[in-house]
Amino acid sequence: MFLIAACGYSYFLYLAAVFTTIQQADAMKYIPFGGLLLLGLMFLHSCGSSAFEETKRKAEQGDADAQCQLAIMYREGDGTTQDYGKAREWYEKSAAQGNADAQYDLGYMYDEGISVPTDKEKAREWYEKSAAQGDVNALNNLGLMYLRGEGVEQDFERGHGYLSQSAEQGDAAAQFNLGLMYNNGAGVDQDFAKAREWYEKSAAQGHAGAQNNLGLLYWSGEGVEVNHRLAVQWFGKAAEQGEVNAQCMLGAAYLLGDGVEQDPERGYELLRASAEEDVPLAQYYLGVMYENGDVVEQDDEQSRLWYARSAERGNERAQLELGRIYLEGRGVPRDVEEGRKWVRLAMDNGNEEAKTYWEEKGL
């Protein structure tokens, strides 16, 4: 770390000298600025290589922290060519000496199948070793494994326990996951107030998922009083980080002027971005917009395409609309069987309007 800092400091001094020289020059055309800058970049690169070599030297001498750092450098391609295989080898050496960070990262490699075949049991074993030392990331991931029954028999109580240990140490991901448990009543009694508490802690640390879900609570009034303006604020924070579900909700709010000054164009932009990321609700809204010619030109084909993408991902309102399109032959040849299929799916997914439509049409 000191070597990197020293090199960075020296590099900035070097650049300062370059610019000073240029400012003092009588004829700038004689100053090879590009060459000087290239030399500076080469100098900084050599510092990175030196840091790598120094870390490698310590790692080869058995320093567990250096071994873990070397693994990270191979993983990130920092000062060397990226090499996940070598990263795993050095993680293994460090983890064997009890380094909690290496144990977690090694568990993650097995969890995600990075340079090794996916092996949930090995992932769990390494997470357990790291979690035993209090590593919040390992505690969180181990909790999720117990909730999902991955590499271990499903056990909501143990999953909740591990998540709680991590969340109480301030881990934003674990706080979000605990909020989800209470929000959905997964392994615990459903409790929107507790969900809100954990979402708030996580959202305050910038967790986009928690910000979005907190917005949803305020939007629907679950565990809190309905407050669409506050909901929009949370959707905005999450959307700025690229949270696609928040982009959908924020887009709908702008489209309708609900909780924010109406701006249909901005609403369309957000909904389009979300729909392109396969958020079913956003795709449904685009279908409606193209069907009615709201903000965009009316286009039956575009409407059908967006309804279809949404319907295929389970949105029951889109399934109903797609069924109507085929039954009524709007922009497509009339196809009773295809129409019946989509209306039936909407009914199966609990859409009451689909049931009424089915009965009225005698389907």
Q: For residue 63, is it left (φ>0), alpha (ψ between -120 and 50) or beta?
A: beta
pLDDT value, residue 68: 94
Give the tens place of pLDDT for each residue, 217-257.
999 999 999 999 999 999 999 999 999 999 999 999 999 99
Confidence label for 25 from pLDDT (cuts 50, 70 and 90): very low
Q: Check: pTM over 0.85? Answer yes or no.
A: no
Average the pLDDT over each of 39-43, 253-257, 294-298, 306-310 and give the range with the smallest value.
39-43
Predicted confidence band of residue 1 (pLDDT cuts 50, 70, 90): very low
pLDDT attached to residue 219:
97
Stated as kind and residue range, the H or E segment containing 266 is helix 264-276
341-355 pLDDT, tens digit per residue, is: 999 999 999 999 999
Q: What's the confidence (pLDDT) of residue 52? A: 86
- Write down the number of H helices and E strands in the chain: 19, 0
pLDDT digits (tens, 9 = 90+) for 3-23: 333 344 343 343 344 344 434
> What is the mean predicted confidence (pLDDT) over 150-169?
96
C-alpha closest to that of 260 among 215, 210, 203: 215
Q: What is the pLDDT of residue 33?
A: 45
Long-range residue pairs from 104-110, CB within 8 A, at least 24 positions apart, any chain: 104/130, 104/135, 104/137, 104/138, 104/141, 105/68, 105/71, 105/72, 105/75, 107/138, 107/141, 108/141, 109/84
- Sequence length of the chain is 363
Strand intervals (E) in the chain: none
Q: Residue 363: its pLDDT value, please?
A: 87
pLDDT category, 182, cuts 50, 70, 90?
Answer: very high
In angstroms, the CA 274 to CA 271 distance is 5
Nearest to 163 by CA among 152, 154, 155, 171: 171
CA atoms of 116 and 250, how far apart (whole Å): 40
Distance CA 137, CA 285 (A): 37
Residue type, 196: R
Q: What is the pLDDT of residue 45?
A: 52
Angle, nearest 10°, between helix axes 228-240 and 244-256? 140
pLDDT at position 11: 36
> By percentage, how much of the chain surpasses pLDDT 70?
87
Report pLDDT for 67: 87
- The mean predicted confidence, pLDDT, of the chain is 88
Q: How many Cβ atoms sit within 10 Å of the Cβ of residue 120?
A: 17
Decide: helix, strand or coil at residue 109. helix
Domains and CATH numbers, the chain: 51-169 (1.25.40.10), 284-363 (1.25.40.10)
Question: Mean per-residue pLDDT for 329-339?
Answer: 94
List strand residue ranges (DSSP E) for 228-282, in order.
Answer: none
Q: Residue written as tokens 């090199």?
A: 7
Rounded Cα distance between 244 and 263, Å, is 19
Q: What is the DSSP string of 165-212?
A: HHHHTT-HHHHHHHHHHHHHTSSS---HHHHHHHHHHHHHTT-HHHHH
Pair of tokens at residue 217:
């609570």
Q: How far apart are CA 261 and CA 243, in angstroms?
A: 21
- pLDDT for 65-115, tens place per residue? 998 999 899 999 998 999 999 999 999 999 999 999 999 999 999 999 998
The tokens describing 318, both together, are 């889109």
